[in-house]
């Protein structure tokens, strides 16, 4: 699998969700090589313990480093919330001090305050991301005047991973969680889908969210932030190859990933099965 001529950007998610981020990154930065890894065999992460999410994410990071990725984006809020800081501070210095692992919570928190007029935002995310309070802390740091209301949506990722995005079950659980979020404050005017799987539920989310509320997805935010990062870090930019390849790896079933991945990525996907642990 390793192609020693390539030095791609590694994109990691627990499953398919990161493909919604990768498709936006490719729109913004089409020339780079990308290597996507989905840990489908162990998804969802959002209901797992802190220690397990950290262990799994570290295994994925080590694997992507072994495949020549000098830069990895954790295109997963749960992994960014639960594992990123430890990996950056504890593991990177001895694993690969010149490599970089970036998350998607900070870039999102850096812009969210610009969208809200009422200064009240809602975050819909996995139980792991909500429990970490990462969004609350990061947004307080960037926009101290903004109040954050969080809503955990434990069933949304399993619904999306199993392809149940438009049935009656999905409609019920989407409606219910939006009701719980909006009941926390009627003044919320901006809702972030703080899980990279949730854009697949967007038609239902839009249906049940009051029209006055703006719904934000992360793909384009993360893409712009990565473009900006590479602009500011020419030493990393030089280490990345730009021959336009996209490769997809999954710890789950390759045929299933190839079939289902297209819905998330918006184009055909040809995946290979890998063992990372």
Interface mask (CB under 6 A) for ligand DGL, residues 112-131, using x and -?
Answer: --------------x--x--
Shortest CB 153 distance to ligand DGL, Å: 10
Q: Which is nearer to ligand DGL, 13 or 189 (CB)?
A: 13
- Which CB sits closer to ligand DGL, 13 or 68? 13
Closer to ligand DGL by Cβ: residue 39 or 189: 39
The least CB distance from residue 227 to ligand DGL, in Å, is: 20
Q: Which stretch binds ligand DGL (CB under 6 A): 28-36, 44-52, 59-67, 234-242?
A: 44-52
In angstroms, what is the minimal distance from the CB of 84 to ligand DGL? 12
> Which residues, in sequence order, are CB contacts of 207 under 8 Å at separation 6+?
171, 174
**Site of tokens 């989905």:** 38
Contacting residue, 32, 34, 45, 264, with ligand DGL by CB under 6 A: 45
DSSP strands (E only) in the chain: 9-13, 34-38, 71-74, 100-102, 120-125, 147-152, 190-193, 214-216, 246-250, 271-273
Does 14 help bind ligand DGL (rule: CB under 6 A)? yes
Among this protein's residues, is 153 annotated catalytic?
no
Catalytic residue among 61, 76, 124, 204: 76
Phi/psi zone of residue 42: left (φ > 0), alpha (ψ -120 to 50 degrees), beta? Answer: alpha
Interface mask toward ligand DGL for 244-263; x: CB under 6 A: --------------------
Catalytic residue chosen out of the listed positions 35, 87, 148, 195 = 195
For 35, counting Cβ atoms within 10 Å of its Cβ (0-12 exposed, 13-18 middle, 19+ buried), the class is buried
The answer to whether residue 157 forms part of the interface with ligand DGL (CB under 6 A) is yes
Tokens 């790896």: give the residue: 249
Phi, psi of 102 (to 5 degrees): -120, 150
What does the alpha-carbon distance between residue 13 and residue 25 come to, in Å, rounded to a whole number? 14
Active site residues: 76, 195
């Amino acid at each position: 699998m390793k192609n020693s001529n390539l030095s791609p950007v590694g994109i990691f998610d627990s499953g398919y969700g990161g493909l919604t981020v990768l498709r936006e990154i490719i729109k913004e930065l089409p020339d780079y090589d990308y290597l996507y890894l989905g840990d489908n065999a162990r998804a969802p992460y959002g209901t797992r313990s802190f220690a397990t999410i950290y262990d799994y994410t570290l295994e994925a990071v080590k694997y992507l480093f072994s495949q020549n990725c000098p830069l990895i984006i954790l295109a997963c809020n749960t992994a960014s919330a639960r594992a990123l800081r430890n990996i950056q501070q504890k593991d990177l210095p001895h694993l690969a001090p010149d490599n970089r692992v970036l998350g998607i919570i900070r870039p999102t928190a850096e812009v969210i305050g610009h969208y809200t007029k009422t200064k009240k935002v809602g975050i819909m995310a996995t139980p792991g991301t909500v429990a970490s309070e990462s969004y609350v802390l990061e947004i307080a740091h960037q926009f101290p005047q903004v109040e954050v209301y969080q809503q955990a949506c434990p069933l949304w990722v399993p619904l999306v991973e199993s392809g149940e995005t438009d049935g009656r079950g999905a409609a019920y659980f989407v409606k219910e969680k939006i009701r719980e979020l909006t009941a926390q404050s009627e003044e919320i005017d901006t809702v972030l889908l703080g899980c990279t799987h949730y854009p697949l539920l967007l038609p239902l989310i839009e249906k049940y969210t009051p029209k006055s509320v703006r719904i934000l997805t992360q793909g384009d935010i993360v893409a712009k932030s990565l473009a900006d990062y590479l602009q500011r870090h020419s030493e990393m930019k030089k280490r990345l190859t730009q021959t336009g390849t996209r490769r997809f790896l999954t710890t789950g079933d390759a045929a299933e990933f190839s079939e289902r991945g297209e819905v998330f990525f918006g184009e055909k996907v040809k995946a290979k099965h890998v063992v990372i642990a």
